[in-house]
Amino acid sequence: MLKDITIGQYFPGQSVVHRLDPRMKILLTIGYIVLLFLANQPLGFLLAAILLAVCYWVAKIPVRMIGKSLKPIIPILIFTAVLNVFFISGGTELFHWWIFRLTTGGLYTAFTMAVRIVLLIAGSSLLTYTTSPITLTDAIERLLKPLKVVKFPVHELAMMMSIALRFIPTLIEETDKIMSAQKARGADLESGGIMQRAKALIPILIPLFISAFRRAEELALAMECRCYHGGEGRTRMRQLHLSFRDWAAAFVMAVGIAAVVLLNHFLPFVI
């Protein structure tokens, strides 16, 4: 399960998606999330899925990575789908027993919520797949730059987010090593009830926290030895500039959002 977590991973490439300005990619990701929440009918979700599939194809990200990013949330999807199926009313009633009521409205709500969550995670993952943590830090800092007027620590916040994102794969790998070591010593981490499994995690969490604090201390010491003092007076090796392809991508996203709004208005979906 831990090996299936792909948050924070970066896949180097020279595709059009990789070469987009990171600021624009963050804004496009926000726009895609808006598109998903505006969509309320199958045609809108189909349009969002096609748009995301084209982006993954252009970026040459392996299809299996989408499955890996979705695998950890399958239990959550099933749980929310079941709740929506049997406890959301509306439309035609198909089945009723005790407190459980199956309606077409519940089925449609469960479907839309599951599709929205899947596309939301896949779309957000594309941002980290095609953007390095350092570039992402620069983009966040540039986008939040107006907040410096009110003395908001923009550079420090961007650096914290970048470091946290960068160390997610490292901590996952460390957790996997600790679990393998505990199993080799005879620890049973998979059998028993919920409380027994929770207690079995204690020998994993303690060394994991110790390792995380040690890495944080080493990183802080290394930054201090290099005379790191935040963003004041610092120069950047890479200068960010918006190009034609960035504005073209923004135009495509705007067209997609407008298309979803028009579909909702002129072709309302009736349950």
- Residues 209-238 pLDDT 10s: 888 888 888 888 888 887 777 666 666 667
Residue 198 lies in a domain: yes
Q: Do 247 and 224 share a structural domain? A: no
Place of tokens 């808006």: 34
Q: Do 148 and 171 share a structural domain? A: no
Residue 195 lies in a domain: yes
Place of tokens 């996203």: 253
CA nearest to 85, candidates 61, 111, 64 = 111
Give me the mean pLDDT over the 163-180 stretch. 79
Q: Give the 3-state secondary structure percentages of the chain, helix then strand then coil, rounded to 5.
A: 70, 5, 25
At 99, give phi and psi (nearest 5°): -95, 0
Q: Do 216 and 266 share a structural domain? A: no
Residue 224 lies in a domain: yes
Q: Do 136 and 209 share a structural domain? A: no
**Domain of 223, in residue numbers:** 166-229
Q: Do 122 and 100 share a structural domain? A: yes
Q: From start to end of the chain, where are the E strands?
A: 93-97, 100-103
Q: What is the DSSP-derived secondary structure letter of residue 21? A: -
Q: Do 142 and 77 share a structural domain? A: yes
Q: What is the pLDDT of residue 232?
A: 66
Q: Do 58 and 2 share a structural domain? A: yes
Q: State which amino acid sits at residue 47.
A: L
Residue 249 lies in a domain: yes
Look at the chain and report how many structural domains it folds into.
Answer: 2
User: Integer distance in angstroms from the first to the last C-alpha of the chain?
Assistant: 37
Q: Do 177 and 148 share a structural domain? A: no
Pair of tokens at residue 256: 């997609």
Q: Do 178 and 90 share a structural domain? A: no
Report the distance separating Cα 169 and Cα 234, nearest Å.
Answer: 28
Residue 79 lies in a domain: yes
Q: Do 144 and 46 share a structural domain? A: yes
Q: What is the pLDDT of residue 194?
A: 67
Q: What is the DSSP-derived secondary structure letter of residue 99? A: T
Q: What is the pLDDT of residue 171?
A: 80
Q: Taken in order 168, 33, 70, 52, is the CA torsion positive or negative?
A: negative
Residue 234 lies in a domain: no
Residue 50 lies in a domain: yes
Residue 161 lies in a domain: no
pLDDT at 5 over 70: no
pLDDT tens per residue across span 52-90: 999 999 988 887 777 777 777 788 888 887 777 777 776
Q: Taken in order 117, 118, 124, 128, is the CA torsion positive or negative?
A: positive
Report the distance separating Cα 202 and Cα 200, nearest Å.
Answer: 6
Q: Do 182 and 99 share a structural domain? A: no
Could you tell me the pLDDT band of residue 140, with boundaries at 50, 70 and 90? Answer: confident
Q: What is the DSSP-derived secondary structure letter of residue 93? A: E
Q: Do 86 and 20 share a structural domain? A: yes
Place of tokens 């099933």: 78
